């Protein structure tokens, strides 16, 4: 029945064999495992039917059934994990006898994968290879001692530039696992984080860095940051965030100014805050909010009256063609290099002016500029449009593509800045910016303000103590589902990514303001991430449950920088909402006394 044509019959057999202790049952389980193919249910049922006492018999049958052919990697990994978790030395010795067997000093990819899986299993059990050797009987200890040869072979293959990428990836599974050669292995992993290396190998190297416990890892990865593409940077941050000591090293880099806070998106900033110790949380909040270039802010303030001036779209079109069309396309004019202007989440005049004059305030990682230096001495710059195993493609203004072979690239460095240059204001007037903004807004879909009984947007002025009270009845309401619930006087049904509320405030002084929410949130919807924006900065946080939607609480949630004078404060979800984000009655901004 273990080879019956009906998959339901095979599944039932796999589930039943666990009740039997006969050696024939172990052979049948082995057959079901080897023939499972893509049938995950059959594979899982057969694995769950094994016991600590039968796993060795199943292993013997699997290896016998494989003959001289390599056994299936997934199956060997699963059996090794199971034997290790049960502490079955006999089963481990049976399997390792095959795994550590080389052919003229060479190992196959499945052998590296199997040992890597065993070491991963030990990590999950908080055990080391050395402790397993000490605790094992003589036969297993001898097999484990032979792993040194496999480690050396893996190190050699992983660093071989002419070997196939898949082979090198398999070999990397054991690099960094040999404590006797830990520093050498870290050097090898480090050497793979270069522009000349296939991106899949870079990814595997980052994964193995994450397996290490060396304090040296964070410094090595931060030193490689600027030479990696957007996808690898995200994976590098995953590694840094995985251990407290590495996160603290990232915070130190933020503190020293070696790492640009703009490289962290809203979710990463929130993750850094959530995982920080209580003592560091206040400092991290200040570091994350201090992302405004004072010089650029002065330029924005110099042209701030452009927001209030009426603009002429036809004149703005001429300015767009001359200044922006090399990298943006709008109204059928220009090139699609930079962000799609129609897709901007905030198309207010204030936001557009800030984006034009301070392009580095908030930059998606894919729009960071890179500079490539070739071995022939040529220099190319642009967005990192794509990567393959053999080449990288830079996208320059006017959509010009430059394809460079990895073997020809001497160095690839991120500028850490937007491909859009600063200094666009040179030779322009406030009226020019008013015209340019009018042209952009006339060619993109603008959100329509929603109207509700009791909602009357107004300019909010400060109380006697300098505080600003942002009530739900005083804001502009936008988005698919957001609404003012008149009976509760709160902003509710905050469920869509385009939902946002905008308050116009007149701040009596520039500086930091303590932010307090008056809100309710049901337990089932807690932990959605909100974002509060001003022209001077942004803060994010997770919505905390108040038990249910009928119980309101007031609490401080952070500090937000404001400039002096009129400005817009925007509240929105920082990522896709699960359920409903919040019922918000008001936000209070109170000047922080330094």
Say yes or no: 336 and 409 in one domain. Answer: no
Do residues 298 and 369 share a domain? Answer: no
Is residue 447 a part of any domain in this protein? no
CATH code: domain of residue 209: 1.25.40
Q: Tally Cβ neighbours within 10 Å of residue 202.
A: 24
Question: Does 96 share its domain with 167?
Answer: yes
pLDDT in tens, 17-27: 877 777 788 88
Residue 278 has pLDDT above 90, yes or no: no
Residue range 568-572: average pLDDT? 95
Q: Which two tokens stand for residue 513?
A: 């303001």
The per-residue pLDDT for 290 is 62
Residues 414 and 426 occupy one common structural domain: no
124: in domain: yes
CB 236 within 8 A of CB 224: yes
Q: What average pLDDT score do residues 572-576 get?
A: 92
pLDDT in tens, 79-108: 877 777 777 777 777 777 777 777 777 888
Query: What's 347's domain CATH number?
Result: 2.60.40.420
Contact 24, 32 (CB under 8 A): no
Regarding whether 185 and 117 lie in a shared domain, the answer is: yes
- Segment 32-71, tens digit of pLDDT: 888 887 788 888 888 888 888 888 888 888 777 766 666 6
Same-domain status, 497 and 543: yes
Assess whether 354 and 466 both reside in one domain: no
Residues 325 and 414 in one domain: no
Q: Is the pLDDT at 416 greater than 80, yes or no? A: yes
Mean of all residue pLDDT scores within the chain: 87
Residue 366 has a pLDDT of 87
- What is d(CA 511, CA 146) in angstroms, rounded to the nearest whole number? 64
Domain that holds residue 45: 7-224
Q: How confident is the model at residue 140 (pLDDT cuts 50, 70, 90)?
A: low
The pLDDT tens digits of the residues spanning 284-328 come to 877 876 665 668 888 988 999 998 899 999 999 999 998 899 899
pLDDT at 144 over 90: no
Is residue 556 in a domain? yes
Task: Please indicate whether residue 298 or residue 587 has the higher confidence score (pLDDT).
Answer: 587
Q: Is residue 276 part of a domain?
A: no
Domain boundary among 175, 195, 224: 224
DSSP characters for 222-279? HHHGGGS-HHHHHHHHHHHTTSHHHHHHHHHHHHHTSS-GGGS-HHHHHHHHHHS-HH
On whether residue 574 sits in a domain, the answer given is yes
| 546 found inside a domain | yes
Q: What is the DSSP letter of 505?
A: E
> Considering the domain boundaries, does residue 1 fall inside one?
no
165-190 mean pLDDT: 91
The whole model's pTM is what? 0.64
Query: 559: which residues sit within 8 A by CB, 6+ positions away?
Result: 285, 286, 289, 512, 513, 514, 515, 539, 592
CATH number of the domain within which 571 lies: 2.60.120.260
pLDDT band at 573 (very low <50, low <70, confident <90, very high): very high
| Mean pLDDT value of segment 371-375 | 89
- Who has greater pLDDT, 502 or 61? 502
Token reading at 277: 């110790």
Give yes or no: residues 543 and 490 share one domain.
yes
pLDDT(460) > 90? yes
Residue whose tokens read 């022939």: 376
Instruction: Give 243 or 268, the one with higher predicted confidence.
Output: 243
C-alpha R_g of the chain:
30
pLDDT for 291:
61
Residue 76: φ, ψ to 5°: -65, -40
* C-alpha distances out from residue 233 to 149, 161, 400, 547, Å: 33, 23, 25, 38
For the cut 90, the answer to whether the pLDDT of residue 480 exceeds it is yes
Residue 52: phi, psi to the nearest 5?
A: -60, -30
CATH code: domain of residue 370: 2.30.30.100
Beta strands in 288-420 (DSSP E): 329-330, 333-334, 368-374, 379-387, 391-396, 400-405, 409-418
- Mark whether 488 and 434 lie in a shared domain: no
- What is the token pair recorded at 338? 């930079």
167 with 299, same domain?
A: no
Overall number of domains in the chain? 4
Q: Which pLDDT belongs to residue 55?
A: 80
Q: Same structural domain for residues 509 and 399?
A: no
């Amino acid at each position: 029945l273990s080879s019956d044509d009906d998959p339901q019959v095979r599944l039932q057999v796999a589930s039943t064999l666990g009740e039997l202790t006969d050696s024939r049952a172990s052979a049948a389980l082995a057959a079901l495992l080897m023939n499972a193919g893509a049938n995950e249910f059959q594979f899982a049922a057969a694995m769950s039917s094994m016991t600590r006492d039968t796993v060795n018999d199943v292993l013997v049958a699997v290896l016998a059934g494989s003959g001289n052919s390599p056994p299936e990697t997934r199956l060997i990994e699963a059996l090794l994990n199971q034997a290790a978790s049960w502490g079955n030395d006999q089963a481990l010795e049976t399997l390792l006898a095959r795994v550590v067997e080389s052919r003229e000093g060479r190992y196959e990819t499945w052998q590296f994968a199997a040992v890597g899986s065993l070491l991963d299993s030990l990590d999950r059990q908080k055990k080391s290879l050395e402790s397993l050797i000490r605790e094992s009987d003589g036969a297993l200890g001898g097999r484990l001692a032979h792993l040194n040869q496999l480690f050396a072979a893996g190190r050699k293959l992983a660093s071989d530039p002419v070997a196939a990428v898949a082979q090198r990836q398999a070999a990397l599974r054991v690099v960094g696992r040999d404590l006797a050669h830990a520093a050498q292995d870290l050097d090898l992993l480090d050497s793979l984080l270069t522009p000349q290396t296939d991106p899949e190998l870079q990814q595997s190297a980052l994964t193995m860095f994450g397996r290490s416990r060396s304090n040296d890892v964070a410094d090595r990865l931060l030193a490689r940051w600027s030479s990696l593409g957007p996808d690898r940077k995200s994976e590098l941050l995953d590694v840094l965030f995985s251990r407290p000591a590495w996160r603290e090293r990232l915070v130190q880099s933020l503190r020293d100014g070696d790492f640009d806070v703009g490289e962290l998106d809203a979710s990463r900033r929130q993750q850094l805050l959530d995982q920080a110790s209580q003592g560091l949380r206040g400092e991290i909040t200040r570091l994350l909010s201090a992302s405004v270039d004072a010089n650029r802010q002065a330029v924005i303030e110099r042209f701030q009256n452009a927001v209030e001036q009426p603009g002429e779209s036809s004149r703005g079109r001429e300015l767009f063609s001359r200044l922006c069309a090399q990298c943006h396309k709008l109204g059928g004019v220009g090139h699609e290099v930079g962000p799609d202007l129609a897709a901007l989440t905030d198309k207010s005049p204030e936001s557009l002016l800030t984006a034009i004059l301070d392009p580095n305030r908030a930059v998606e990682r894919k729009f960071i500029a890179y500079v490539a230096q070739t071995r022939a001495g040529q220099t190319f710059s642009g967005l990192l449009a794509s990567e393959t195993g053999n080449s990288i493609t830079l996208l320059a203004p006017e959509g010009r593509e430059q394809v460079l072979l990895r073997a020809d690239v001497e160095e690839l460095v991120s500028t850490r800045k937007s491909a859009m240059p600063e200094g666009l204001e040179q030779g322009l007037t406030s009226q020019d910016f008013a015209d340019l903004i009018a042209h952009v807004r006339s060619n993109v879909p603008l959100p329509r303000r929603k109207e509700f009984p009791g909602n009357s947007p107004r300019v909010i002025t400060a109380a006697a103590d300098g505080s600003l009270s942002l009530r739900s009845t005083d804001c502009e309401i936008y988005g698919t589902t957001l609404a003012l619930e008149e009976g509760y006087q709160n902003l509710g049904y905050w469920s869509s990514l385009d939902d946002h509320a905008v308050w116009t405030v007149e701040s009596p002084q520039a500086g930091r303001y303590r932010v307090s929410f008056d809100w309710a949130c049901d337990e089932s919807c807690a932990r959605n991430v909100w974002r509060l924006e001003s022209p001077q900065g942004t803060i994010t946080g997770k919505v905390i449950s108040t038990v249910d939607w009928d119980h309101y609480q007031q609490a401080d949630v952070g500090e937000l920088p404001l400039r002096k004078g009129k400005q817009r404060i925007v509240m929105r979800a920082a990522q896709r909402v699960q359920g409903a984000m919040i019922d918000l009655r008001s936000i209070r901004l109170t000047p922080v006394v330094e």
